Every structure is written in structure tokens, then in C-alpha cells.
Amino acid sequence: MAVRLDTFSLVSSLYARLNVLVLALGISSFAAAPAHADLLSCEALKKAWSSISSDASYDEKASLYDQAYNDSDCDGVTVEAFGADIIHSRLDSVVPFDSLASHSGNIEELKETLLDLQEFGEHWRLSYFLGEIYRQQQQVLPALRAYQEALGLVDDEELTPNEPDHRMIARLRDRLDELAVVGAQVSNSPEDVQIPTTRSGQTISQYSFSTRGYKRKKTLVPIQFKYDQAILTEAGRLSFQDVRKTLEAQGNPDIRVVGHTDPAGSDPYNLDLSLRRAQAIREALLNTGYSGRIDVDGKGEAQPFRFDDPSLYSEDLRNQAHRRVEFVRN
């Protein structure tokens, strides 16, 4: 057993020196016995877990999880299963399944509860609700990352074996549309708008036309243009690269590229500008060897982006969302 060195101990003691070395190497015991000798039986912990009622307290389950994680011979799969059970039951008790609207408690306290739950593993609902809180608190980039993480977990059939309700997937995709176009505007670095990869190295299906069994006819992409021009910004080029990879992974489907503008300017001018921007994306895709058919369309200012809560964003940020490009699958 490691010995805590007292300030007044004889530091010249060989035993003390050996224990300092042991602690420095991160070894928990200097005994000669096998490392697994004092580990708890995983089978015993499984039986204990199965025996506790469904209404067992969070603290009871957390205590068993800690024993399984730190002091047992349980493998990672078993520990992950314990953690997933805790996350699922805790989420059901602290927040409604589909919305924060009826939550009457302190949002900051709820956020801390959700962040604490991340200790037990990953869950798409956990990431989604953190995104909802960050969005309400107008923390755009943390919200974007949380929603992206949620979508990546939805796509992972190992971590999310049961396909979520399509209404929830649709809401998650809508949130990603909103935060992607706003995030591209508030970011200090173009890399902030790039899609992260999942743990298996796959890009998240943020711009794809399907998520699990949920199908989508159109998808919004945060391809930014220079003001009053049909030339991509640096962030716009990075977004274009992500979109190109997503379309390639889907087999280069036949698509229609639709451009939109903000309300500034006359209707005829905006209609022409939106069409030129759509044509610029078409040309950029063709230059990369895109094999699907690409039609173009411009809507001008006729179809502004619709926010659930416009008060979350300034007029400039709302206008940036109006200046967008959508891909529609033919």
C-alpha cells in the first residue's frame, strides 16, 4: 500500500524513497501480489445492478458504476452499458424527452447536470439537450458542436442501436441548419465551420439527404459569399469541401442548387444575385469532377430563413442566414 510521506518523516528512509518512486510512476500498489487480486467480481456487480429496482436513486447507480469502472474486472462493454443506463434514466427524470419548453427549473443547473452525465458516456439526447441550452444562451459555436455530436451519435448504430423518432431527427437537422449558417458568421476561424469526424473517422451526415431511416428532400449548407458577389469566402470554401465530400459519399446524386439572398436591394437584383451564386456552386462542383446532374435556381429574397426564435440573433446574423444555398435532391 502506498505510504503518504509526512513532512517530518525521515526522508532518507529507503522505504519512503521507494514509495515516492512508486507514486511517481503512477502505480497504485507496491505489493508483490497480482494486480487483479483485490478487484471486485464483475459478475457480482452485474447481479447487484440487476437487483436494484428501476426507481433506484442516481447516487446508488453512480456508486455501482464507479466500482465497476475503478475497482472491478469488468470489461469496457459492461462499464459502457452501466453508464448508458444511468444516462438514459437520469435524462428521463430531469428533462422531457423532446423539449426543454416545459422545464421549470434553473437552466444553468440543468446544464451542469447534463455535463456531469457525460462522465458516464455518450448519448445523442444528452448532446442534443446541451445544444438546446447553449442555443438559448446564445453560445452559437458550442451549440453547433453539441448538435453535430448528437447527429454523429444518431448515425452510429453501435452507440444508438434503436433508431430515434424521425421527428426528433428532423428537429436536430433543422437546428444544425440554423447554427451552421449563424456559426459561419460569428466564427473567428474558418475551421470552426468544418464538420468534425466521428470516432470511426466518418464525417457527420450534416449535409446528407438522409439520417438513418429519415429522408430529406433538401439540405442547407453554410456556403458564404463575399458581400454582394458570387465569390466564396475562405469559410465558404471550407464548407464547400465538406459538402462535396458528403455528396460524393452519397454517389453524386442529381441535385438542384438554390441560391437565396437577404432583403437588402431590389427584387430583380437579388433574384439575379441568388442565381449567380447558385451557378458559382454548380461550376465549382463540376470542376471537381461531379458526375451527377446539377440544375440551378435563384429565389432572391422570396424565401427567407425561418427561425423558431428570431430574438436569439441580431439582424445581421439573421440576414446571414437568409444569404444561403440549399441543395435539393432531384
For 26, the domain range is: 1-35
Q: Is 59 helix (H, G, I), strand (E, B) or coil?
A: helix
In a domain, 27, yes or no: yes
Report the mean per-residue pLDDT for the chain: 83
Distances (CA, A) of 312 to 41, 109, 317: 52, 21, 10
Task: Decide: residue 128, CB within 10 A, 0-12 exposed, 13-18 middle, 19+ buried.
Answer: buried
In a domain, 9, yes or no: yes
pTM of the model: 0.81
253 vs 4, higher pLDDT: 253
In a domain, 220, yes or no: no
Number of domains within the chain: 1
In a domain, 20, yes or no: yes
In a domain, 311, yes or no: no
pLDDT tens track for 286-318: 999 999 999 999 999 999 999 989 999 999 888
pLDDT tens track for 119-158: 999 999 999 999 999 999 999 999 999 999 999 999 999 8
For residue 30, give the nearest of 71, 2, 70 by alpha carbon.
2
Q: Could you tell me the pLDDT band of residue 19, with boundaries at 50, 70 and 90? A: very low
In a domain, 6, yes or no: yes
- The residues near 164 (Cβ < 8 Å, ≥ 6 apart) are 124, 154, 212
pLDDT score of 96? 67
In a domain, 22, yes or no: yes
pLDDT score of 97? 63
Label residue 229 left, alpha or beta by phi (over 0 means left) and psi (-120 to 50 means alpha): beta
pLDDT exceeds cutoff 90 at 100: no
In a domain, 15, yes or no: yes
